[in-house]
Structure 1
Amino acid sequence: MYSAKGDEITVAELYPLLRLRVDVFVVEQECPYPELDGRDLLPTTVHVWWQPGEEVLGCLRLLRDQDGAHRIGRVCTALSARGSGLGALLMKSAMEHVGDEAAVLEAQTYALDFYARFGFVPEGERYLEDGIEHQTMRRGAVSGARA
């Protein structure tokens, strides 16, 4: 598993992550949205990815919300890697970065049980984003963690 902060990631590392995200979220899921949102290069952003060869097979990113919570997003795997357990490995790595602190994510509803395995619980009402049903999920800070 690889990781890099937004202000340390190289162009050669970031480009395949962006390509995978566009392939999955924009092309495959047919959701034309502004994938390049200006947050990938922030020093508080952390990218996590798996690249066993030339091709990136999965990635995600961690952001920091205004309240200090970690925000996990852009979790995706290449079609060829689905069902291999890679998504769980990516989330395990993300949770190592989060540690005992609070975290939030916006899950596509088919993945609610997947994220629940990592301690996330639904919060609020389900909503549509780009025609796909989503649910906010949150994991509170673990006792003894700093705020």
Structure 2
Amino acid sequence: MGTTPGFTISAVEYESGLPELRQVRETVFVQEQKVPQEMEWDELDPLCHHFIARDAGGQPIGTGRLTPKRTIGRMAVLADWRGRGVGDALLEALLAKARELGWLEVSLHAQASAIGFYARHGFLPEGERFDEAGIEHQAMRLLPDALNPVETRDAAIAATLGVIALARRELDIYSRELDPGLLDVPEVVAALRRFAIDRGEVRLLVQDPATPQRALSPLIALGQRLSSAFAFRAVEEPVDRAYPSAYIVNDRGGHYFRKLGHRFDGETRLDAPARARQLRSAFEPVWERARPITEYRALQI
């Protein structure tokens, strides 16, 4: 179905593909993660759409499935191939098939360690975490090709991580006071740091620069260490300060927008170029009018 250097992704029928599915899933889930064999294979397997990743020699290295319940599951990649884009390619193939089938919603149970991975593809957490086969999981949901509602702080963090992860070179952030509870959580700060180190540029408009300074926001310290990548400006014009919303938008069509900037609830989509252009266009004149926050550069913490 698709080709990436070093491996391929293709759909496979359950019966003919069962030996390869077993080779990957039993290695990852049964042997590595100690999931009981009787829990790994279920009555849904023969009814699912299965995908397999194979290396250049044709050996299976990853799996994933779409179930009749419109869920994604059994995502597994062999240890030697992790971190090389196999999981991303499998998930993209599964989502492409879901779109082909006309699914308006796709959900999954993510292992807690993989929440960030699924957030990069637009999935948002729902509900509390739970135990499944002795492993902590989180329910997550995506509305393909639609705005996804953000209703909780956890979903806000996931939406922010998704926008950051898919940015090419530019991120614009409009914030009231550097969004405590969102822009100061360790995983978001780490994501911004990785983006900046990878030659990304982050512009932040702040309506109230004094409050995060007093709170020793970690973004200020990060901006000092990576001053060529981060730029902070204060919104001071009355017409601009009346703006009630907040957002983060990237240069690849992704955004997370909150109508009321002091709340987490809002909407996000990672493939909405028209809306992203609109937000970036609105950001630009405010940025030009705003004051560089020199006190952030001088702060020693």
- The TM-score range, normalised by the shorter chain, is 0.7 to 0.9
Structure 1 partner of 2:139: 136
In 2, the alpha carbon distance for the partners of 1:33 and 1:17 equals 13
Whether contact under 8 Å (1:102, 1:142) holds in the other structure is no
Deviation digits for residues 11-57 of structure 1 (CA, Å, limit 9, x no counterpart):
44221112211111111011214222122212xx1001111324201
Unaligned segments of structure 1, at least 5 residues: none
Whether contact under 8 Å (1:64, 1:71) holds in the other structure is yes
Structure 2 partner of 1:29: 33
In 2, the alpha carbon distance for the partners of 1:28 and 1:37 equals 19
Unaligned segments of structure 2, at least 5 residues: 1-8, 147-301
> Which one-letter code corresponds to 1:30 in the other structure?
K
> Which one-letter code corresponds to 2:98 in the other structure?
V
> Which one-letter code corresponds to 1:124 in the other structure?
G
Matched, 1:49 2:57: no
> Which one-letter code corresponds to 1:49 in the other structure?
I
Whether contact under 8 Å (2:61, 2:77) holds in the other structure is yes
Structure 1 partner of 2:83: 83
Higher relative contact order (CA 8 A, sep 6+): 1
TM-score of the two chains, using structure 1 as the length reference: 0.83
In 2, the alpha carbon distance for the partners of 1:33 and 1:106 equals 19
Equivalenced residues, count: 134
> Alignment RMSD, CA only?
1.8
In 1, the alpha carbon distance for the partners of 2:96 and 2:128 equals 28
Q: Tell me: CA distance 1:71–1:10, structure 2 relative to 1, closer, same or farther (3 Å).
A: closer
In 2, the alpha carbon distance for the partners of 1:16 and 1:24 equals 13
Q: How does 1:100-115 map to 2 (within 5 A)?
A: 101-115=104-118
Structure 1 partner of 2:204: none
Deviation at 1:127, TM superposition (A): 0.6
In 2, the alpha carbon distance for the partners of 1:12 and 1:56 equals 13
In 2, the alpha carbon distance for the partners of 1:140 and 1:13 equals 29
In 2, the alpha carbon distance for the partners of 1:112 and 1:50 equals 21
Whether contact under 8 Å (1:61, 1:75) holds in the other structure is yes
In 2, the alpha carbon distance for the partners of 1:136 and 1:10 equals 25
In 1, the alpha carbon distance for the partners of 2:65 and 2:24 equals 13
> Which one-letter code corresponds to 1:128 in the other structure?
D
Whether contact under 8 Å (1:107, 1:136) holds in the other structure is yes
TM-score of the two chains, using structure 2 as the length reference: 0.42
In 1, the alpha carbon distance for the partners of 2:118 and 2:14 equals 29
> Which one-letter code corresponds to 2:79 in the other structure?
L
In 2, the alpha carbon distance for the partners of 1:38 and 1:18 equals 15
